[in-house]
A and B are shown apart, each in its own frame.
Chain A
Amino acid sequence: MDQVAVFAKDLTRVFGSFVAVDHVTFEVPQGEIFGFLGPNGAGKTTTIKILCGLLTPSSGKGMVTGYDVNTESEEIKKHIGYMSQKFSLYEDLTVSENLDFFGGVYGLDDETKARRSLWVLEMAGLTDKTDTITGSLPLGWKQRLALGCAILHEPPVLFLDEPTSGVDPLSRRNFWELINDLASQGVTIFVTTHYMEEAEYCNRLALMSAGKIVALGTPSELKKKWMPESVIDLECDQLMRASELLQKEPVFSEAAVFGSSIHLVTLNPNEAEEKIRGILTNNGITIERLEVVMPSLEDVFVTLTSPERKLGKSDNQPRTYL
C-alpha cells in the first residue's frame, strides 16, 4: 500500500458525559475512497470535524497528510478540501465570484486561480454560466460547483460529509464519476453517507454506531463477514402485519421492512421458509414472492446498528480491521 493519508488511533471526543467518538482507529492510504457509514448521531460528523481541524480530540491521535490534528490544525486546513451536505456556497454571488472568493481565501495566485477555475468550470459543466447567480442553478450543478470550490486548491485529501443528500440519482451518479476520477489521480476521499448504493462505490467502509467503529472492510468483505446468515426476501400483502407476526418467531434473527418487501435474516433458510408459509397462510396473508437473496450493505447496516445486536452478537465477536 502507498502512503497513509489519514490515520486515527484511539481517537476520542467527549461532550460532557456523552462520548461522541469512542476510541476510533483506522488508516486510509492515499488515493482510496474511504466511506463512513452509520445512523445519525453515530459520530461520523464529529470524526470528520476532528480530522478537518475544527474540533480537538479529547484523547487519541490523528494525522491528516502528515499533520497532527492536535497541534497542526492550521496546516491541515490548507491541505484538505471539505464539502458538506449544505452546499456551502454564496447563493447571492455569481459562479465566478464564488470561485474567485474561495481561490482567494486559499491564497492561490492569479495564474493558478485562473487555471483551476477553468478546470472547475469544465468539470462542473458551467463554462457558459460564469455570470449566473449561484442560487439560480439547479441543485446538482450547485453541488458540482461546491465540489469544485472545495478542490480549487488541489488538496491531497477531500472530506465529503453526506455530499449527495437531496440530489437526484442522475446527478448523484455524475458526482460519483467525478469522485472516482479524483481518486484515480491520487486524491484521498473520505466520505460519509446514508445511501447504501453510494457506499458500494467506496473502496473500503467503516461502519459506525454509538461512537464506535463496529465493522471495517471492503463492501464485499463486510457482507461476507457480517452476514453468514441468509436473507429471505418476502413480498406479500399486509406487509406490516406480516412483519409483526414473523418477528415473534425465534428462527428469524431479524425481520425488517425494506420498501415493498420484508427482509428476514435466518441461519436456517429451509426451516424459515416453511415457517413463513405456515404462519402467513394461517393468518390469511397471501405470499406474492419469496426468495433467498444475497445480503445487501443495507442488511449489514441494519444488522450491525440495531440496538439488540449491539448487546449481543457483534460484541461477542472480535472486531477486526481489514
Chain B
Amino acid sequence: MKRKILESLQRIRWLIRKEFIQIARNRQNLMMLLLAPLVQLVIFGSASRLDVNSVSTVVVDLDHSRMSRDIVEGFSRSGYFKIIRYLDSYETVDKLLERNIASLAILIPPDFEQRVNGRRKAEVGVLIDGVDTITAGTVSGYAQSILQRFSDDILVSRINSMQGLLYDSTTPRLIIPQVTDASRAWFNPNLNSKDFFVPGVVVLLLLTLAIILTSAVIVREREIGTIEQLMVAPISRLELILGKTIPCFTIEIVTLLTITPLALLLYDIPFRGSLSFFFGAFLLFLVTASGIGMTISAFCSTQQQAVLTSFMFLQPSILLSGYAFPIENMPPVIQYITYLNPVRYFITIVRGVFLKGTGWEVLWPQLAPIFVMSIVYIAWASALFKRRID
C-alpha cells in the first residue's frame, strides 16, 4: 500500500516536472503568463473609476449679476467642475455637448437676480450629457446640492433680515427647522471607487488566468495526441489531473502573491481583514476556477477552442458578478441566475475582507456555495473525462 502511494507520487512528480519544462520552454507564453496580470492590474485598476471630478462645464451667464457670479463660483469651487468656456448665448451650447467638448452647461437667465430679489421663482438651467447615465446621475446630484446650498443661503439671509423687521431684536424668535443629512459612508469614507473596484480586479485577473490556463493545459495534451500515450501508461485519471492542475495552481498562487501586495501599494487601498482567511478563501476559489477550466477542457479538442469557450464563460460571469453592476439593480430573473455564479460570492468576500475587515463569521454563507460549486465542477469534469475515454 505504502509502496503504491509512493509510486503514484513519483508519477505525479514526473508529470509536474514535464509540465513546468513545457511552460518554461515556450518563452512567449511564459511572458504572457507572468506579465499579463501585472499589466492588466495597472490598466484595469486605474481605469475602473466612477468618481467624477473636473467635469467640463460651459457657463452661459446672461444675467451678469453678483448672484449669478456666486452660483458659477459655487460650481467651480466645489472641485467637481472645470469651467472651460463662458458663452454669451444659449445657441452654441448644444453643439458643445454634442461634440463631447462639454458634459455640463449652466444656463443663467438675464432676469435671474431680479426675480430672486423680486421674491419670484428663479430658475437656473443645468444641461447634462445623459449618454453616460452613471456619470450623469452623479453630476446631477452634485449640481443639485450646490444649487440647494445657494438657495438655502438666500433663505437664511432672508429670514435673518425678517427677524429684524418683525421683532426689532437681536434674538430671533422665528426658527426655521432645517433637516440636513449627516450621512457618512462607512468602510469607504471618501467614497473612492478604486477601493471598491481594485479588489474586484484582482479577482477577475486570477479567475481569467485560472480558467484559461487550466483548460488550455489539459486540452493541449489532447490536441497533440499525447493523452492517448498517457492513458495506456500506468497513470490513473486522478494522477493525470493532479499532474496537470498542480503546475497551474502554482502559477496562480505566485500571481496572487505578486498581484495582491502590488494592488495595495499602487492604489493605496485598505486591507482590513485577516490575511489567512483571505488566502484560504482564495485557494478555494481557485480550486473552483480550475474545476471550471477542467470542465471546459472536457468539451474541447483544441487549445483555441478552449480559450474561446473560456471567454464565453468569463464574460457573463464577470458581468453578473456585481463587480461593476450592482446585482440588486438587475431584473429578478437575472438575479436568480447570479446565484449560480461563483464570482458573485467571491467578489462579496474579497470586498468584505479588504474594506470591511470581515472574516469567516460573516462571510461563510458566501464561502459555502463556492465550496459546493468546486465539488460540482470537479465531479462533472471527471465524469466527462471518463465518458470521453469510452
Contact = CB atoms under 8 A, between A and B. Distances in A.
A complexed with B:
yes
Interface of A: 52-55, 74, 77-78, 80, 82, 84, 86-93, 97, 101-102, 104-107, 149, 159
A107 B232 contact: no
9 contacts: A74-B236, A77-B232, A77-B234, A84-B229, A88-B229, A90-B22, A102-B233, A104-B10, A107-B234
A132 B262 CA distance: 40
A66 B157 CA distance: 105
B6 to A, nearest CB: 10
Of all A-B residue pairs in the complex, the 9 with the closest CB atoms, nearest first, are: A104-B14, A88-B229, A86-B225, A82-B232, A77-B234, A88-B226, A78-B234, A101-B18, A52-B232
A92 B29 CA distance: 13
A149 B232 CA distance: 12
Contact of B226 (A74, A77, A80, A90): A90
Secondary structure call for the B interface: helix
Nearest to B26: A92
B257 interface: no
Contacts of A102: 229, 233
Given A54-B389, A80-B232, 10 more contacts: A52-B232, A84-B228, A89-B226, A93-B22, A101-B18, A102-B229, A104-B14, A104-B17, A105-B14, A107-B7
Contacts of A55: 389-390
B15 A84 contact: no
Given A88-B225, A90-B226, A92-B25, A97 B234 contact: no
Given A90-B22, A101-B14, A105-B14, A77 B225 contact: no
A74 B17 CA distance: 23
A86 B228 contact: yes
B131 interface: no
B141 to A, nearest CB: 57
A26 B18 CA distance: 39
B67 interface: no
Contacts of A52: 232
B11 A107 contact: yes
A111 B232 CA distance: 24
A161 to B, nearest CB: 9
A102 B235 CA distance: 11
B22 A92 contact: yes
A105 B232 contact: no
B226 A53 contact: no
Nearest to A101: B18
Interface string B201-241: 00000000000000000000000111011111111100000
A253 B233 CA distance: 47
A107 B226 contact: no
Given A55-B390, A90-B22, A97-B18, A105 B228 contact: no
B179 interface: no
Contacts of B10: 104, 107
Contacts of B390: 55
Interface in B1-47: 7, 10-11, 13-15, 17-18, 21-22, 25-26
B235 A105 contact: yes
B330 to A, nearest CB: 43
Contacts of B15: 105
A53 B224 CA distance: 21
Interface of B: 7, 10-11, 13-15, 17-18, 21-22, 25-26, 224-226, 228-236, 389-390
A153 to B, nearest CB: 9
Contacts of B21: 93, 97
A93 B229 contact: no
A54 B231 contact: yes
B21 to A, nearest CB: 6
A54 B390 CA distance: 8
Contacts of A159: 232
A53 B11 contact: no
Contacts of A78: 234
Contacts of A88: 224-226, 228-229
A84 B232 CA distance: 11
B274 to A, nearest CB: 41
B234 A74 contact: yes
Contacts of B224: 86, 88, 90-91
Contacts of B235: 105
A54 B17 CA distance: 25
A77 B240 CA distance: 15
Contacts of A53: 232
A104 B225 contact: no
Q: B15, B232, B389 — which one has the most chain A CB atoms within 10 A of its CB? A: B232
A52 B224 CA distance: 20
A105 B234 contact: yes
Nearest to B390: A55
B159 to A, nearest CB: 83
Contact of A105 (B11, B25, B225): B11
Contacts of B11: 104-105, 107
A252 B10 CA distance: 63
Nearest to B8: A107
Contacts of B236: 74
Contacts of B17: 101, 104
Contacts of B232: 52-54, 77, 80, 82, 159
Contacts of A91: 224
Nearest to A48: B232
A188 to B, nearest CB: 16
A149 B18 CA distance: 15
B150 to A, nearest CB: 70
Contact of A82 (B225, B229, B389): B229
Q: B11, B18, B226, B230 — which one has the most chain A CB atoms within 10 A of its CB? A: B18
B74 to A, nearest CB: 66
Nearest to B231: A54
Contacts of B25: 92-93
A91 B224 CA distance: 9
B22 to A, nearest CB: 5
Nearest to A97: B21
